[in-house]
Structure 1
């Protein structure tokens, strides 16, 4: 274990937590928080989520609720004002969220003067969960279709790219299927998620009918995680990869998106046998 690097990551996350606590009444920008932590803006949200076991916005909601609980017990402020300070537009929405977290509606909580829960930093589970290897790879050209929205629906883009590849005689046993994922689904609204699906090619392609464009992916050092199982379970691999593994490794992420390479065909492989390589770009 690289204890020095792990401590460094935790201290940088601690700076973010301190900043959040001091600026809870403000609109909190992920890029600003990445700068506070001196992490890559491209990957800050994944690192934070991996280390904290919650997203930045979940932390903000948790901290605001913690503060609201203190306001309910220690002040005589109107619940309407407390709800607004916690970021809610109505008492009803605040009451539902508060009861979900604290087990009682705000008025009841205030009347029975419950103790304020202790806010603690989740510990990391550092055990080895996946095989990871660091590789230097050459850049690859990818003929791809862009996808916007839920990553679980990216199959639509793969189908479109596959039809185009078959049409152009590119879909064979050696064809390498790649997915690029630009955003952390735990930190970005579903409808704003950006990804691309396609195949490795040896020259540039463009086809407006199919929405095909060519871009470069990879190049340089990458940490490669091997995941076996359903695509729906890849999220836990990302969380461990960007949390426990990265902080232990002594590595820093580069300003490039992660991508996945699919080693077998989901149409002919049972989900439990699907093998996916997740590539994390490194400096």
Structure 2
């Protein structure tokens, strides 16, 4: 059954508020500003936003800011004060408190350690960390996708818009799989031109419209690794798979983008408990 037109209209309007938060990560918007972006009355906006997204605007903003900050801590040498300022915090002290509460340690220690994530399973009898690679056949996937253009570390708002799109159509009530597809090599393509897709599986009867588009992937064989930790640290899994595992595996990557799958809900768990399956499509052996 198609979603009611009013619900679809609400989704489009809430998506504008999410887009405003993504475009202004350093600002702390007032209720009136966000309500105006979504064309809702301020006295109703918070209730509608929470019903449509599953969290408050403040929670969305905090999660997006800290996820972006974690990526900058690991991927750049920017001074802590600048990372804090770009993440929208008025001081390093405020940034440190928020980061410690979410990640379990202060940002300086997080940067020194190179992150807090770990493979869910490590290969035994190895002196250095190695990831446990599983070769599996991925089933055919019918996906609703929303395109993200820009640094991969900034894709969180696109997944937030996807969740709102899917919730408005009743697609989150049953079991669904959520994927990110990454079309470009971040070491060879300028960050502003990187292309990715935030995707959710859908049934054969779902009509894809609005800002989403339909992607259909046939079954394929893949090398997979399950990683536990912040999404900002997934780059080291991809680097290891492409730089270490693939050259020694006797396998070649297929001509389709790598992807990862969120195995739990980042809104319900701290970053240290986020589970992600990294997926590298392979050519037939």
CA–CA separation in structure 2 for the residues paired with 1:174 and 1:226: 19
Question: What is aligned with 2:165?
Answer: 164
Runs of 4+ in 1 over 2 A off after TM superposition: 125-128, 203-206
Q: CA RMSD in A?
A: 1.8
Deviation at 1:217, TM superposition (A): 3.2
CA–CA separation in structure 2 for the residues paired with 1:198 and 1:277: 14
Deviation at 1:279, TM superposition (A): 0.8
Question: What is aligned with 1:207?
Answer: 209
User: Are the equivalent residues in 2 in contact too, given 1:218–1:281 (CA < 8 A)?
Assistant: no
Which residues in structure 2 correspond to 1:241-260 (within 5 Å)?
Answer: 241-260=241-260
Counterparts in 2 of 1:173 and 1:191: CA distance versus 1, 3 Å: same
CA–CA separation in structure 2 for the residues paired with 1:127 and 1:252: 24
Which protein shows a greater Rg?
1
Question: What is aligned with 1:142?
Answer: 143
CA–CA separation in structure 1 for the residues paired with 2:137 and 2:145: 23
Question: What is aligned with 2:265?
Answer: 265
User: Are the equivalent residues in 2 in contact too, given 1:205–1:213 (CA < 8 A)?
Assistant: no
CA–CA separation in structure 2 for the residues paired with 1:207 and 1:146: 13
For the residue of structure 1 that corresponds to 2:162, the secondary structure is helix
Counterparts in 2 of 1:126 and 1:179: CA distance versus 1, 3 Å: farther
CA–CA separation in structure 2 for the residues paired with 1:196 and 1:265: 18
CA–CA separation in structure 2 for the residues paired with 1:265 and 1:231: 12
After superposition, the C-alpha distances for 1:224-283 in whole angstroms (9 at most, x for unaligned) are 111111100001111101011111111111100011110011111111111101110111
Question: What is aligned with 1:195?
Answer: 196
Q: Does 1:278 align with 2:260?
A: no
Where do 5+ consecutive residues of structure 2 fail to align? 1-125
Which residues in structure 2 correspond to 1:224-235 (within 5 Å)?
Answer: 224-235=224-235
For the residue of structure 2 that corresponds to 1:146, the secondary structure is strand
CA–CA separation in structure 2 for the residues paired with 1:155 and 1:177: 12
Question: What is aligned with 1:129?
Answer: 130
CA–CA separation in structure 1 for the residues paired with 2:238 and 2:168: 34
CA–CA separation in structure 1 for the residues paired with 2:188 and 2:176: 32
Higher RCO (C-alpha under 8 Å, 6+ residues apart): 1
Counterparts in 2 of 1:189 and 1:201: CA distance versus 1, 3 Å: same
Which residues in structure 2 correspond to 1:1-283 (within 5 Å)?
Answer: 127=128, 129-172=130-173, 174-203=175-204, 205-208=207-210, 211-217=211-217, 219-283=219-283
TM-score by length of 1: 0.53
User: Are the equivalent residues in 2 in contact too, given 1:143–1:205 (CA < 8 A)?
Assistant: no
Where do 5+ consecutive residues of structure 1 fail to align? 1-124
CA–CA separation in structure 2 for the residues paired with 1:247 and 1:150: 27
TM-score by length of 2: 0.52
CA–CA separation in structure 1 for the residues paired with 2:127 and 2:136: 22
CA–CA separation in structure 1 for the residues paired with 2:138 and 2:209: 27
Deviation at 1:128, TM superposition (A): 5.1
Deviation at 1:172, TM superposition (A): 2.9
For the residue of structure 1 that corresponds to 2:243, the secondary structure is helix
